[in-house]
Amino acid sequence: MSISHGQIIVVGNEKGGSGKSTTAIHLIVGLLRAGHSVASVDLDGRQGSLTRFFVLRQRFADKQGLKLHLPEHETVPPLDDGEQVSASNVTTDLRELGGLLRQLSTRFDAVVVDTPGSDSQRSRLAHTMADTLITPLNDSFVDLDVLATIDPDSMTVERPSHYAETVWQQRKQRAHLGLKATDWIVMRNRLSSLDAVSKRDMARLLADLGKRYNFRLLPGFGERVIFRELFLRGLTIMDVDNETPGGAGLNMSHLAARQEVRNLVEAINLTQASLSHTSSDTPSTVTEARPAGSAAGVHAAP
């Protein structure tokens, strides 16, 4: 009997500040709330935003007497920059990382990997192993430069940039190994509501790049204060209802943010068939009821 494997989903972009950790956090919680079993891996051990979020989430849950949705989380510590790392140590490190991702993919419907905003052999290995690659991209020409060099006069693509080349190389390596092609999704984050010329140029250029580099475009997350406010509680917009912490209530911006997360979860295309990995202690449904004495407005897992 063949062993089924969950999806390895890598959130990657070599430019910092693009919203990788925010994307990974909301994707993980969104998948868990949809009934999927999820493991998370923080490859950005130095920054550690994903790890910090789940520490805060567990702390909030313990303090409020809640059972919140949590993945099985792994943090890969950074290699020591103070010592010269031998080639054999790097080989061993990569072998262990590959083994970890493969092992988790046999136990969970999804393995979500948050990568650092820089090039590294660990990140390249994760990109090669990715069944799905999600690249958050702020909607600006500064951030578009990570994918392609643009001619400012003709506003056309001159050549692929470093990150697009990296993804291409890892895709070639994946094909060489006989693996299914990575489904590459580029998310347009922080889209302006104004119909500016630059916004239309970005849309045209990204559509062109999508055809050249074979990626799907997805409207990403807006610039929303609620994401930053909830981080310190270890919460996401999917965890709260009309009685959000602080008593502000859900407004139209919050509801739009929720829909953005749902759109991302749906784009991953995890089917109900993948629930074969779900363990008995992983919540498969979410109730709106709150335990007595719990924080107002927070959805607890059953």
Position 197 scores a pLDDT of 67
Q: Which of 95-104, 159-168, 217-226 has the lowest mean pLDDT?
A: 217-226
Question: Which of 14-28, 98-112, 167-181 tops mean pLDDT?
Answer: 98-112
User: By the 8 A CB rule, do 139 and 188 touch?
Assistant: yes
Q: Which of 82-96, 181-195, 253-267 has the lowest mean pLDDT?
A: 82-96
Give the CATH superfamily of 7-79+97-273. P-loop containing nucleotide triphosphate hydrolases (3.40.50.300)
60 confidence band (pLDDT: 50, 70, 90): very high
- Please indicate whether residue 279 or residue 285 has the higher confidence score (pLDDT): 279
- In this predicted structure, the answer to whether residue 29 has a pLDDT above a threshold of 50 is yes
Candidates 76, 61, 106, 48; CA nearest to 283 is 61
Position 193 scores a pLDDT of 59
- In this predicted structure, the answer to whether residue 160 has a pLDDT above a threshold of 50 is yes
Average pLDDT across the chain, whole number: 82
164 confidence band (pLDDT: 50, 70, 90): very high
Q: Provide the percentage of residues in the chain whose pLDDT is more than 70.
A: 80
Residues 6+ apart with CB under 8 A from 133: 9, 10, 12, 127, 167, 182, 183, 184, 185
Q: Which of 92-96, 103-107, 193-197, 231-235 has the lowest mean pLDDT?
A: 193-197
Q: What is the pTM of this model?
A: 0.85
Question: Which of 54-63, 142-151, 273-282 tops mean pLDDT?
Answer: 54-63
Mean per-residue pLDDT, 44-52: 90
- In this predicted structure, the answer to whether residue 272 has a pLDDT above a threshold of 60 is no
Position 107 scores a pLDDT of 95
Q: Which of 105-109, 178-182, 243-247, 296-300 has the lowest mean pLDDT?
A: 243-247
Position 18 scores a pLDDT of 78
Residues 6+ apart with CB under 8 A from 98: 125, 129
- CA–chain centroid gap for 102, Å, is 18
Q: Which of 22-36, 160-174, 286-300 has the lowest mean pLDDT?
A: 286-300
- In this predicted structure, the answer to whether residue 291 has a pLDDT above a threshold of 60 is no
- In this predicted structure, the answer to whether residue 293 has a pLDDT above a threshold of 80 is no
- What is the chain written as a DSSP string? -PPP--EEEEE--SSTTSSHHHHHHHHHHHHHHTT--EEEEE--TTT-HHHHHHHHHHHHHHHHT------EEEE-PPP-TTSPPPHHHHHHHHHHHHHHHHHHHTT-SEEEEE--SS--HHHHHHHHH-SEEEEEEESSHHHHTTTEEEETTTTEEEEE-HHHHHHHHHHHHHHHTTPPPPEEEEEEES--SS--HHHHHHHHHHHHHHHHHTEEEEE-----HHHHHHHTTT--GGGB-TT-TTS----HHHHHHHHHHHHHHHHHT--GGGGGG--TTS--S--S---TTPPTTBPPP-
Position 283 scores a pLDDT of 36
Position 278 scores a pLDDT of 45
Residues 6+ apart with CB under 8 A from 176: none
Position 290 scores a pLDDT of 31
- For the chain, the domains span 7-79+97-273
